Structure 1
Amino acid sequence: MPNSSQLLDQCFDEVARQAKPLLGRCVEAAVASLQAAETKSSAVAERQRLAQACWGLTQRKGVLTDTYPARLREAFERGGDEGGRTSSLALLSDSSLLALVDDLSVSESLESARLLQDLMPVVEQALTALDARMSSLIGFETVQVEKNPLRPSVFVRVLRDLIAEFEREPEIRSLWLQHLASPLGRGLCQLYEQLALRLQQANVQEAGYRIRLVEDPQAGSGSGPTSARRDPWARDAQSFEPALTGRGDPYQTLPPMTALAGTQARLDHQVFHDFLADEGGRFEQALDSGYYDQLLREQRIAQAQADLPLLDEVVVDRERVQFRGLPVVDRPARAVSIGSQLGTDHWGAYAAPHERTRVLLDLKQQAERVSQAVGLDLVRKLVNQVARDPLLLAPVREAVVALEPALLRLAMDDPRFFAKDQHPARLLVEQVAQRSFRFNDEFSGEFEQFHAPVREAVNALNALPGATPEPFAVALEHLREDWASADQAEADAQTQHLQALHFAEARQELADQVAWEISLRPDVFNAPAAVLDFLYGSWSLVIAEAQLRHPDGGPDPLGYRALISDLLWSVRHEVTLHQPRKLIEMLPGLLQKLRAGLGMLDKPVEETQTFFDALIRYHEPVLALRRASARSQAGTSMPGALETPVVAFPETDNLAEAPRPRVADTPWLAARERVEAGFQDAPAAVATVVEDSAAAPLSTSSEEADEGTETAGVLASLHVGDWVDLQASGQWLRARLVWANARATLFLFTSRGGHPHTMTRRSCEKLIRQRGLRPLAVRPVVDAAIDAVVKGVPGAPAHACVVATDAVPA
């Protein structure tokens, strides 16, 4: 690992470099949100304030974005918050401190706290990965979240202080902070994932969480029957390390029961692991009064957030389609999480994140046991994990987020239902995700046909007053029925394509065997190379075709094997010159049968024209002799006075260079078979690159070998059933490998609708080198999410949301 201070400086430099465009995008989104709120507002005074805030933020965009990077760098070098500054969450959690400050300070502290609350659902997972590696970089063996110089509270405080310098009116500052929260969270999500990936690439290992459970501070207050005793988990504290974590400003360890009352899961992966393993009865303890008191505070905060204006639908839709013009493989993955605002036209009331949070808190209010509260947190954690999976198209991830209320209701009666492989709810999420891998374009009509029934099923499940497994099973069965008809049509088409390829492969195998048998004949000795090439190639295919078409006709159903003897005899000059009449009588039938066999094979004329030209040359001496004889007889009218003419014999072939039969790398396919199999050659662009390579600087042999090895490795990693993004006829298609021959030299892919795409190994390798064929690392989505939550392993690549650095994901 490089020098720690140097690597830390590189992280600071990267943040400073991205801070200006990041804040610029946030300001643009906030201005759009303020304009939308102004349009919706009916109160004149409120509209004036919103208009003033919008105008002021627009005017100060330049100075804010120019100043923000330097202020951040100063804060990082100080280690985050200034010494002696009372944090906003500390103000909010201590009533004695509230009495010592004025209303303005309280209001600003509330706004800072709300801003942090809005950020955390979006950045939580990315920040967790960064915390672990940043703590290790700084030199801690365990995670010290409060020591992370890049924690969200630093960004929020610097932004709040910077805004205060350029805007005097508290109400305007408050509006700015409210509307900057959502875009700032999305920007920080991308930034944190980039930094975590940078540290991972620098071999910075993750520090571990070792936070010990502490006793509930309300245990001795005597406020209720449950507060008169220690927390029931306290006696097993050692077995719960790592256990509970809480985030704030600064971060602090929270009592276990109160930690369960939050809208964000503060449990370490080991707790979720133990919970799903159902180890012991500790999770069946009753929730105490501290839990319910904290829950009331969380509900008040959630209600305050619900009163904030949502993004206008026009803004949401604009962010959704902003990269539509790019090729599907170049579009950055849109960020989706449990904190995302979805489209109301698709998801109704549950499109708003505060409505989904309200369902969570209402259910937590009904919870009586620790297992129910942990189960609710687990569902939210898993939903957020799936929502961030970049393998899934954004609308599919939005469907999982929208389904959260129905999944949460299931957790009340069965908190561990996600651990059951065959639970209908888990199967529904997994099979919808797997089905979606057939599509790579969320704007295509085919994807909309798939997604519309999924939306209907999600909305129907959310509309149910309660939640049992049966409705999920019914919804999945209806979706399967819709999918089955399309699958059958594709299966029938695929069977037809495979039959053509299987026949071609069987014909080639039999032709190779026939060619070998021909090579063992004694009369092939000293035969012309052109004739042997024809026999080992085209004519072996003709014989194989005839045998496969007429399996009951014996080894030579149409007499094409027998023709070999006549053909070889006809090109032996030492024999034909002494029996010219026999050759002349044989030739018409021989040529007719050759044409008939090649016609059955559907061989193009140009493929065998070279052979027939050579055959004429070999027969020409006898034909010339006959013409000379005819002229002589006509001139002398004396039969028997034949003068032997001088004829030119074709050059004798070098026996050392005589062709030998060889096994074909790929089966030969006729033109109609190539069309039927969807045969695809390497694209013209690839050929152009290869042809122009002579003008480019020559690469070393080792570089060429490495490139070839890498390409071969990618192709070797493909197995039947794997998905790829395939460029065909200028379009990017999602295709699946459905067949490869035994020699791995011919591959059949099928795209949506059962359209075939057959390619040779060489074409595949060219496409891979030119990025025209890109394998997709498909995996079980729910299993990956559970692994990430209960084992602490990444469920999705760390760079998933950083495909385009300057993109503003919806």
Structure 2
Amino acid sequence: MSSAPSLLDQCFDRVLREAPALLGRSLNATVAALQDAENQSREVAQRSLLARAWFSLERQRNPLTAQFPLRLQQAFQRGDHDGPTSSMGRMSDSSLLALVDDDSVNESLEAARMLQALLPVVEQSLSMVDARMSSLIGLDTVHAEKNPLRPSVFVRTLRDLMAERESDPQLRSLWMQKIVAPLAKELSQLYGQVALMLQQARVQEAGYRIRLVADGSPQSATHLSTRGWLEEGSPSERAGLTPSREGLDTPAPPMSLRMKDLARTQTPLQHEVLQAFMAGEQAVFDHPLDNAYFEQVRQELHHVDLLARLPQPAPEELEQERTRYRDLPAVERPARPVDVASPLDADQWGDYAAPHERTRVLLELKHQADKVSQAVGLDVVRKLVNQVSGDPLLLAPVREAVVALEPALLRLAMAEPRYFSRGDHPARLWIEAVAQRSFRYNDEFSPGFEAFFEPVRAQVRSLNDSGSVEAGPFASALDELKAQWASDDEAQEQRRQRQLQALNFAERRQELADQIAWEISHRPDLYDAPAIVLDFLYGSWSLVIASAELQHPGKGPDPFGYRKVIGHLLWSTRSQVTLRQPSQLFQIVPGMLMTLRQGLESLGQSPDETRTFFDALLKLHEPVLRLRRARARVDGHATALTPEVSESEQQALATLLAPASPEQQKPTPREQPWIGARELASAGFSETMPLTSSEASEAAEVVEAFAEIAVTTDADVNTDAVEPAMLLARMTTGTWVDLYSGGEWLRAQLVWSSQKASLFMFNSLGGRTHTMTRRSCEKLMAKRWLRLVETRPVMARALNQVVTAEAATEAQ
């Protein structure tokens, strides 16, 4: 391959160009993770160690990013090999075995753990690079351990480089622990770019070699054998990969399959064969089926006829099993078992509710098959249906729907045996869409779930009745469901957008207000200002200025004179000055008060909320007012009059006039944005907690918003659960949770969180909104009243489990 060296060099160049930025972003995230860990740690020694770790990494960041590409280039030029590996196993796992066998990596257990944690994240994109890179370097089959860009090269290079820059093994260990997640994300994206380069260069994926060989009875059956995973001359190969010459019906050799087995309802397909089939291997799978196969199919059909004569479960028994755990809380119910052999309710699922009727469709289609690919395709469909039906994340009716849909799914395999390997196939998209939509619900008995599921149930019966071998009916059904869901979501989505706009505006306003407060704190006339005035300026008035500037960006830097009034306010509170210039104060105060009240009203603060400040302001102006009243009672020619003030009033005034302490002179950024009651009401918040940061108010939040939550004993609290802070760190926009509120468990979705992760907004069915602070979330999690719900792509996981060794192991 004359172009291979040039293209390989291009891949190396691309990686080396991306390496500095890739590592830089990973180190930034690592420093942040170490700082977060330091803030959350309660042990002094651990905090000190974490502080040393992030400070040292901060110092070494530039040298590490500068030297990383050079060290990678040296590793590429050396053609580092990780040592001998077993060729059995998944493509990406061979990199792990290679790394563990490398002497240099064995010196650091942390590096091995790092690779183990990294591999699952990069596996999908890495597998594409493994396949095409093996082809690029001249290999016929995939050899992940020979991929020059395998993760172990990056891990080993980074480990060695860190060891040179930092002598303390404890610090290096912390670095490697915290860099795993960001590095895995960066490498996954890098492998995706490399795979795209190779694909655009038309580099074909290396695959598996499959061949048909005769078994002990060459006249009646053939073997489907997989080659490429056994070492040359291995005991397994010597034991039976070659055909028997004695003509005896010996057991099938490892990784082989007889034609008769393809005719059964439960075919023992090895995962290597399935991998090759789903990867598009053609030669072997296009082989025609033989007479032994069709004879076995007829025997299997006769067995199904016998099963059909057996009594079926009564509808009452099925209903009793379905409602067995109905009285338990939704989050405590065990997953009801469902698989391809499960009897279903005929009233709900029609003619194919009985398992033998679904099996009959499978065998009749096998009897119509012409090629090995069609028979294997039918087996893949059944295996996938069985895999999805056992997914514990899905409610039992959703899993029943997939089982009931098996006849329609099987028919598609006759025209396109490998259709499930296509991520854009309508049947696969239909199942995935229904599964993802079902994550909105946690109770199969709720009216909301039944309203969602009835159209799904109707479509399952319609698709089965269509008898089509084409994907068109699935595409139409999916479009119909999406249109209905979009109509149902329209009103809620508009409401959600208003809520998000209100929260995003509040966050931007708070960020700008914090900046304005910082600017105010540097004013020269702020010296000796009373604390209550500074609190007002740093809090409410900064928000007023920020709100005006965000809402009226085209009206200049000070649209309504809100910044200008700060100087008047500070001057008016200095009694030692205003007593000498009372007339100037009387000219300033009316306009100043009007501006203050106008600004606070625009912010949505009621007079009750601001009464304390204005009462204090009136007392600050009281000396001048007393002076004016005194002047009115005496001769206007008097040059100096002192108003009479009681001792208690003088003490109260002195306290009020006391200048702010050094701590009070510095503004403190709020942990969460301030949101006014009017904004909350206009956004449609139905269940909102008070947004205060004090401990007393934080404790009241749970009581106020969850007043109807049942009281639990200490035994009800899962003390072994993951720390709430760690659970919160895993939450991102779109995360589903189960929330106990108002005496029921609600399925809610996180739709917004503040940049500081101090405020969260969830939406549950019916458009209900739940907004709470970080501390409230942690308290609810500690009580197990807020639980994260695991969600993931259903079809991709099922397909991966079907074609991997792990799925085969689980089935056994």
Partner of 2:671: 665
- Please point out which of 639, 654, 659 is paired with 1:653: 659
- Measure how far apart 1:404 and its partner are: 0.3
* Contact 1:388–1:796 (8 Å) recurs in 2: no
For residues 738 and 225 of structure 2, the distance between their equivalents in structure 1, rounded to whole angstroms, comes to 53
Partner of 1:374: 376
For residues 688 and 549 of structure 1, the distance between their equivalents in structure 2, rounded to whole angstroms, comes to 37
For residues 654 and 714 of structure 2, the distance between their equivalents in structure 1, rounded to whole angstroms, comes to 45
For residues 430 and 728 of structure 2, the distance between their equivalents in structure 1, rounded to whole angstroms, comes to 32
- Measure how far apart 1:453 and its partner are: 1.8
* Contact 1:785–1:795 (8 Å) recurs in 2: no
* Contact 1:405–1:462 (8 Å) recurs in 2: yes
Partner of 2:688: 680
Distance 1:236 1:581, change over 3 A: closer
For residues 730 and 608 of structure 1, the distance between their equivalents in structure 2, rounded to whole angstroms, comes to 37
* 1:399 maps to amino acid: A
* 1:665 maps to amino acid: E
- Secondary structure of 1:666's aligned partner: coil
- Do structure 1's residue 231 and structure 2's residue 222 form an aligned pair? yes
Partner of 1:547: 549
- Measure how far apart 1:722 and its partner are: 2.6
- Secondary structure of 1:264's aligned partner: coil
Distance 1:237 1:594, change over 3 A: closer
* Contact 2:349–2:461 (8 Å) recurs in 1: yes
- Measure how far apart 1:583 and its partner are: 3.1
* Contact 2:708–2:743 (8 Å) recurs in 1: no
Partner of 2:642: 644
- Secondary structure of 1:502's aligned partner: helix
* Contact 1:617–1:650 (8 Å) recurs in 2: no
* Contact 2:402–2:431 (8 Å) recurs in 1: yes
Distance 1:611 1:283, change over 3 A: same
- Secondary structure of 1:282's aligned partner: coil
Partner of 1:483: 485
- Per-residue deviation, residues 685-706 of structure 1 (Å, max 9, x unmatched): 899999x99x999x9xxx99x9
- Per-residue deviation, residues 620-648 of structure 1 (Å, max 9, x unmatched): 33334444555x63xxx796397534542
- Secondary structure of 1:295's aligned partner: helix
Q: Which moved more, 1:436-445 or 1:254-263?
A: 254-263
- Measure how far apart 1:580 and its partner are: 3.1
Partner of 2:300: 298
For residues 795 and 625 of structure 1, the distance between their equivalents in structure 2, rounded to whole angstroms, comes to 94
- Please point out which of 742, 752, 756 is paired with 1:743: 756
- Measure how far apart 1:504 and its partner are: 1.4
Distance 1:488 1:392, change over 3 A: same
* Contact 1:265–1:378 (8 Å) recurs in 2: no
Partner of 1:278: 280
* Contact 1:328–1:732 (8 Å) recurs in 2: yes
- Please point out which of 527, 530, 535 is paired with 1:528: 530
* 2:740 maps to amino acid: Q
- Secondary structure of 2:723's aligned partner: helix
Distance 1:793 1:671, change over 3 A: farther
Q: Quick check: which has more Rg, 1 or 2?
A: 1
For residues 707 and 475 of structure 2, the distance between their equivalents in structure 1, rounded to whole angstroms, comes to 53
Distance 1:380 1:752, change over 3 A: same
- Per-residue deviation, residues 536-558 of structure 1 (Å, max 9, x unmatched): 11111122223333333322222
Partner of 1:591: 593
For residues 474 and 304 of structure 1, the distance between their equivalents in structure 2, rounded to whole angstroms, comes to 37
* Contact 2:627–2:641 (8 Å) recurs in 1: no
Distance 1:521 1:257, change over 3 A: same
* 2:737 maps to amino acid: V
For residues 650 and 475 of structure 1, the distance between their equivalents in structure 2, rounded to whole angstroms, comes to 77
For residues 294 and 723 of structure 2, the distance between their equivalents in structure 1, rounded to whole angstroms, comes to 58
Equivalences for residues 130-529 of structure 1 within 5 A: 216=215, 218-219=217-218, 226-227=219-220, 231-233=222-224, 256-279=258-281, 281-529=283-531
- Secondary structure of 1:756's aligned partner: strand
RMSD: 3.8
For residues 557 and 512 of structure 1, the distance between their equivalents in structure 2, rounded to whole angstroms, comes to 19
Distance 1:550 1:232, change over 3 A: closer
* Contact 2:226–2:273 (8 Å) recurs in 1: no
* Contact 1:677–1:758 (8 Å) recurs in 2: no
Partner of 1:760: 773
- Measure how far apart 1:400 and its partner are: 0.6
- Measure how far apart 1:268 and its partner are: 2.1
- Per-residue deviation, residues 207-262 of structure 1 (Å, max 9, x unmatched): xxxxx99975654xxxxxx42xx625369698798999xxxxxx986972222222
For residues 418 and 641 of structure 1, the distance between their equivalents in structure 2, rounded to whole angstroms, comes to 98
- Secondary structure of 1:732's aligned partner: strand
Equivalences for residues 583-732 of structure 1 within 5 A: 583-584=585-586, 586-630=588-632, 633=634, 640=638, 644-647=642-645, 648=650, 649-651=653-655, 652-653=658-659, 655-675=661-681, 676=683, 678=685, 680-681=688-689, 682-684=701-703, 710-732=723-745
Unaligned runs of 5+ in 1: 1-211, 220-225, 245-250, 799-810
* 2:798 maps to amino acid: A
Equivalences for residues 31-46 of structure 1 within 5 A: none
- Measure how far apart 1:610 and its partner are: 3.1
- Measure how far apart 1:597 and its partner are: 2.2
- Measure how far apart 1:480 and its partner are: 2.0
Structure number with greater CO (CA < 8 Å, separation at least 6) is: 1
Q: Which moved more, 1:264-273 or 1:233-242?
A: 233-242
Distance 1:397 1:527, change over 3 A: same
Distance 1:592 1:233, change over 3 A: closer
- Secondary structure of 1:749's aligned partner: strand
- Per-residue deviation, residues 483-528 of structure 1 (Å, max 9, x unmatched): 2222333332222112211221222222222222222221111100
Unaligned runs of 5+ in 2: 1-210, 242-249, 690-700
- Measure how far apart 1:781 and its partner are: 0.8
- Per-residue deviation, residues 715-771 of structure 1 (Å, max 9, x unmatched): 222222332223344433323233333332333333335443333323333333232
* 1:565 maps to amino acid: G
Partner of 2:566: 564
- Secondary structure of 1:284's aligned partner: coil
* Contact 1:338–1:401 (8 Å) recurs in 2: yes
Distance 1:341 1:422, change over 3 A: same
Distance 1:643 1:437, change over 3 A: closer
Distance 1:724 1:797, change over 3 A: farther
* Contact 2:411–2:467 (8 Å) recurs in 1: no
Equivalences for residues 755-794 of structure 1 within 5 A: 755-793=768-806
- Secondary structure of 1:683's aligned partner: helix
- Measure how far apart 1:357 and its partner are: 1.0
* Contact 2:353–2:404 (8 Å) recurs in 1: yes
- Per-residue deviation, residues 657-715 of structure 1 (Å, max 9, x unmatched): 4431232221111002223263633432899999x99x999x9xxx99x98x9322222
Partner of 1:579: 581
**Count of matched residue positions in the alignment of Structure 1 and Structure 2:** 561
* 1:659 maps to amino acid: Q
- Measure how far apart 1:352 and its partner are: 0.7
Distance 1:608 1:776, change over 3 A: same
Partner of 1:106: none
